Every structure is written in structure tokens, then in C-alpha cells.
Amino acid sequence: RQHKDWRGHVRTTAMEKSEATRLKSRVWDTFTGFANHLWNTATEPDMSYHEAAERYRALISDEDRRYFEAALKSVGQIEYTANLTDLSLTSDLFFDGSEDMHYMSSTRVGFGNTAAAVAFGIGCDFLVGSKVTRVDYSRPEVLVTIEMNGGLTQAELVSTVVAVTVPLGVLKANSISFVPPLPSKKQQVIDKMKVGVSNKCIMIWDSPGSLVWPKDEIWFTFMPLEDTSGQVPRWTTFSNLSKYKGKPVLVGWIGGDDARHIESLTDDEVLDEVMISLREMFPAITRPDRVIVTRWASEPNFLGAYSYKSVGRSFSSDSATLAKPVGDRLFFAGEATAGAWYATTTGAWTSGYDAAVLMIKALLKSNENNAVD
């Protein structure tokens, strides 16, 4: 955190874990209780976290407010991908400022290799580098149109049942044409549900000597002072993967409108912003040898990170409507259909499993009808 010494010079010092624990208890845990009280006594049908935070800020000191802002940004904008003005108070904000976190993935065991292992076990053919543009379910069998080779060639696939697992952002953009159009209630839910953005700046140093931060600390949160214009750096939350990757690796996290903003910048421009915070935290740090910047809102196969609970909507109802099959041929899965498990890999996986069970039942029913005919 930053503070001014007796001469008025800005200093950045590490906070002791014991102090961080006390701050979490005094500031964040108190805020969650305050937010719950607001929700339980509110006369409005819903409230945003922005409104709750505004009321809470008036009750705490300037120093506590700085910790609160850092925690709120880390959880609200980065974890839930939303601006606080649109994030419903029904969202359970979880911020762990003191305890160790546990990670299941190790080197070379990421999502890509995990998906490949599952696909290998299924033993089916998969078309990669292909893009679905049209789903025609107006006939007894579903006709799926795909583009390949960057749109230079097209192909059509015929199936009895189809699982639609594209991200909510793709559905909202109408990137896939459904014939006939999806039921009006489902389309309205697609239009009304919200998708947030969370991006990362992944930095890799090749030399072990470049590691100038505590190797075993997993998370670093920067609590800066405002500059003369009242602004603070965008990048304040960092994870440290160095001990998992065997070389110095830091990941900067950013969410909400800040995450959308950086997508218009070059990698070097993003890194320039990130280094402002890192140099305040670790003065001896050098620019990384490699940098990877995600831009999920600009990625046409995603168009966002994942869904969130927006003010004024019943997420559980919307999610259930989105998950509902269309007849016995179109089935929907993905994190936005997973109800309470939205925004998680677990939700995406289990919703896919549930859709597969329904598809099998539909196929068995179709086979029985064909046998009778």
C-alpha cells in the first residue's frame, strides 16, 4: 500500500499478514454484513453493489476506504466481470484476503489438455477450425451449416439432436441464425441477460534472477493513493504463478469497463500501464521477456467472459429459460444455463452433462417412434 511519509513523499510498503487479516475483518466482513442488512430491509425489488458501497463508504475512515476499494475492485469487477452499478446485490461477493488458496492445475495440465483428454476418450470425430453460422430445425432432422478455412468453404451437417453450447455473448450477438427463430421468451432472456469482461496481462521472465517479489505469495493487491487528478492505476490485482511454472510469472487482472478499455490498446501499451503499478510495488522489477494480453470481449467465439447477476433480473429464472430445450431437437448448455453454478467451469460441465442426458432420452424416444412407424 502507498502512504505519505512525514515529508509528504509517497512510499509503498508491504502490509503484514496480521494487519491484512484485521482489515478484512474490520472492513470487508463488516461490509458483507451491511450489504446483507440492506438487502433484507430494502423496499426496492433489487439494488446494485454500487449503491450499497456508496452508503458504506460514508461510514468508514479514509484508510479503511482504500482497502475497501481494492477489495471491491478485485471481487466486483474482476471476479464478477461487471461494473458495480449493474451488479445485483443478490450476488454473493467472496473476498479472501488472508487464507491460502488452492489450485488444481499444474504445469501442462490446463483446460486445453484437459479437453483434449476428454475428447480422446469419447472416440468421435471433431471438426476444429469450423464455425457454426446457421441451425435449421424446421425439418424432421436438424441441418447445421458451418464455415471452414476462414469462411472460404461451407458444409452442412445433419443430426437428430443438437447441443447449443456457445457462450451467451455469441447468442446475444445473433452470430448464429436459427430457423425458425428461437421462441420469443428464450430470445428475450438472451437479450436481457448480461455478459461481463475480465482480462489478464500474463507476464513471463526467462531468467530466474528476474524474480524480485516473494515467490510463495500467490496474490498481490496494490492499494495506491489517488494522483493529483483523483485517479488511481487500473491494474491493482496480481497473481503469482512462479512456483507453479518454474520461472518468474505474474498475471495482472482487470474487469468491467477497465477490461473493455484495454482491448483497444496494443500489448505494449497495456504493459506500460501494468508496469506503473508493478514498479511501485517492486522497484527492481524489469519489463518481462514475453507478454500475453487477453481480449475476451473482442474474441468472436466468446464476445465476453461469462454471465453475471444484473440489477432488476431474476438470474435463476433467466438461466432456467435459457437452458430449456426447444422441442426434442435443440438442447442448450453452458455456464449461463447452470443456475447457481453460473460463471464457473463446474457449471459449464454439469450443464453439458445434463443436456447430454436429455439428448439421449430424445434419441431413444425417436428410435422407438421410428420402430413403431
pLDDT in tens, 255-281: 999 999 999 999 999 999 999 999 989
The Cα 373–Cα 367 span in angstroms is 10
Is-contact 223 2, C-beta < 8 A?
A: yes
Exposed, middle or buried, 145 (CB in 10 Å: 0-12/13-18/19+)? middle
Compute the radius of gyration of the chain from its Cα atoms: 24
Q: What pLDDT digit, counting tens, does each position of 2-15 carry?
A: 555 656 666 666 76
Rounded CA separation 220/14 (Å): 10
Q: Which pairs from 225-233 meet CB under 8 Å and 24+ separation? A: 225/2, 225/3, 225/4, 225/10, 225/66, 232/69, 233/273, 233/276, 233/277, 233/280
Listed in sequence order, the residues at least 6 apart from 351 whose beta carbon sits closer than 8 Å to its beta carbon are 323, 333, 334, 335, 337, 338, 341
Per-residue model confidence as pLDDT tens digits over 54-68: 999 999 988 888 888
For 338, residues 6+ apart whose C-beta sits below 8 A from its C-beta are: 319, 323, 344, 346, 347, 348, 350, 351
**In this prediction, what percent of the chain has a pLDDT beyond 90?**
54
Residue among 85, 45, 83 at smallest CA distance from 314: 45
Retrieve residue 5's grid coordinates: 511519509
Residue 362: CB partners within 8 Å, gap ≥ 6? Answer: 160, 161, 325, 328, 329, 331
- The pLDDT, as a whole number, for residue 366 is 81
pLDDT tens track for 135-172: 999 998 999 999 988 888 999 999 999 999 999 999 99
The number of helix segments (H) and strand segments (E) in the chain equals 12, 15
- Grid cell in block for residue 238: 496480481
Mean pLDDT of the chain: 87
- Nearest alpha-carbon partner for 315 in 274, 362, 347: 347
**Roughly how many angstroms between the first and final C-alpha of the chain, as a whole number?**
74
Dump pLDDT digits (tens) for 278-337.
Answer: 998 999 999 999 999 999 999 999 999 999 999 989 999 999 999 999 999 999 999 999
Distances (CA, A) of 267 to 216, 261, 272: 27, 13, 9
- Cα 25 to chain centroid, rounded: 26
Q: How far is CA 222 from the centre of its chain?
A: 21
**H-helix segments, 286-344:** 315-323
User: pLDDT digits over 98-132, tens only?
Assistant: 444 445 455 666 777 778 888 877 777 778 889 99
Which one-letter DSSP state was computed for residue 337?
G
Distance CA 171, CA 330 (A): 14
Alpha-carbon gap, residue 214 to 330, rounded angstroms: 51
